[in-house]
Amino acid sequence: MIVRDLTSLDDDRTTDGGTWVSRRLLLARDGTRFSMHDTILRAGTTTTMWYRHHVEAVYCVGGEGWLHDDEAGVRHALHEGVLYCLDGHEHHRVEAVTDLRMICVFDPPLVGGEVHDADGAYPLLGREVAEEAS
């Protein structure tokens, strides 16, 4: 069993991507087949993403903003209680009107320091680490 408290998270589990800060509660090194993050997207920012190597599920637990689906050309309001899952590796943007607090799950798991590359993707690093840990 793993029990972890956001208020006493190790420094190397926090990654700042500029428009967001991600507190990575579960990572590949924990031996799980997914990672789980508590992420704040900063008010007034827009983040462009395309997770071509990962499936991400995102659950909004606070704040207001917009999810722009750049493949369908539609936007969805984000507020507490809204979930989206990028099961088709969709190009998308998240516009934070206020600070948005998001619980994010990645499969395969992240290893810890990932930030978006020029395409908005994270590199595929987790699978090997997860296999070593199991």
* Binding-site ranges for ligand 9YT (CB under 6 A): 20, 22, 37, 39, 41, 47, 58, 94, 102, 104
Nearest one of 67, 21, 73, 61 to 48, comparing CA atoms: 67
Which lies closer to ligand 9YT via its Cβ, residue 46 or residue 133?
46
> Which residue number has the CB closest to ligand 9YT?
22
Shortest CB 36 distance to ligand 9YT, Å: 9
Shortest CB 39 distance to ligand 9YT, Å: 4
Shortest CB 117 distance to ligand 9YT, Å: 13
Which lies closer to ligand 9YT via its Cβ, residue 31 or residue 101?
101
Torsion-angle region of 81 (φ positive above 0: left; ψ -120 to 50: alpha; else: beta) = left
Shortest CB 2 distance to ligand 9YT, Å: 18
Angstrom distance (rounded) from CA 109 to CA 41? 20
Tokens matching residue 93 = 């943007």
Which lies closer to ligand 9YT via its Cβ, residue 1 or residue 5?
5
Which lies closer to ligand 9YT via its Cβ, residue 31 or residue 59?
59
Residue with tokens 């600070």: 99
Cβ count near 24 (within 10 Å):
28
